[in-house]
Structure 1
Amino acid sequence: MKIRRGAHFLAALAAVVLLASCSGSDGDDRRVTEGRDWHWDKNAGVPQASAFMNVTVPKDATQTKGAVQINPQEDIYLLSFVTSEKNAEGIAEDLHSGDPLKAQKKNFVPDRERFKHLGLAEPQTLAGTRWAGVCPPCVNDDRRKKVQWIDVYVQALKDDRVRVYLQAF
Structure 2
Amino acid sequence: MRVRTPAGAADVTGAVRHGFQDITYLIAFMAPTVDAETFVTDLRPEDALRIDAPRDPKTYTTATLWAHLGLPEPETEQKVRTASVCPPCIKDERRPAVQSITAFVQEIGHGRSRARC
Q: Which structure is higher in strand share?
A: 2
* Aligned length in residues: 114
Equivalent residue, structure 1, for 2:34: 86
Alignment of 1:115 with 2:63, yes or no, is no
Deviation at 1:103, TM superposition (A): 0.1
Higher Rg = 1
Equivalent residue, structure 2, for 1:64: 12
Distance 1:80 1:144, change over 3 A: same
Between the two proteins, what is the percent identity of the paired residues?
36
Alignment of 1:100 with 2:51, yes or no, is no
Alignment of 1:152 with 2:103, yes or no, is yes
Partner Cα distance (1:74, 1:141) in 2:
19
Q: Which amino acid aligns with 2:108?
A: L
TM-score by length of 1: 0.64
Partner Cα distance (1:110, 1:57) in 2:
27
Pick the aligned partner of 1:73 from 3, 18, 21: 21
Deviation at 1:111, TM superposition (A): 2.2
Partner Cα distance (1:104, 1:153) in 2:
11
Distance 1:102 1:110, change over 3 A: farther
TM-score by length of 2: 0.91
- What's the C-alpha RMSD, in Å, of the aligned pairs? 1.2
Equivalent residue, structure 1, for 2:83: 132
Gaps of 5+ in 2: none
Q: In terms of mean alpha carbon deviation, does 104-113 or 118-127 score higher? A: 104-113
Judge conservation of contact 2:15–2:27 (CA < 8 Å) in 1: yes
Partner Cα distance (1:114, 1:107) in 2:
15
Q: Which amino acid aligns with 2:51?
A: A
Where do 4+ consecutive residues of structure 1 move more than 2 Å?
Answer: 105-113
Partner Cα distance (1:135, 1:142) in 2:
12
Q: Which amino acid aligns with 2:114?
A: R
Pick the aligned partner of 1:161 from 99, 108, 112: 112
Deviation at 1:112, TM superposition (A): 3.0
Partner Cα distance (2:67, 2:39) in 1:
23
Q: Which structure is higher in helix share?
A: 1
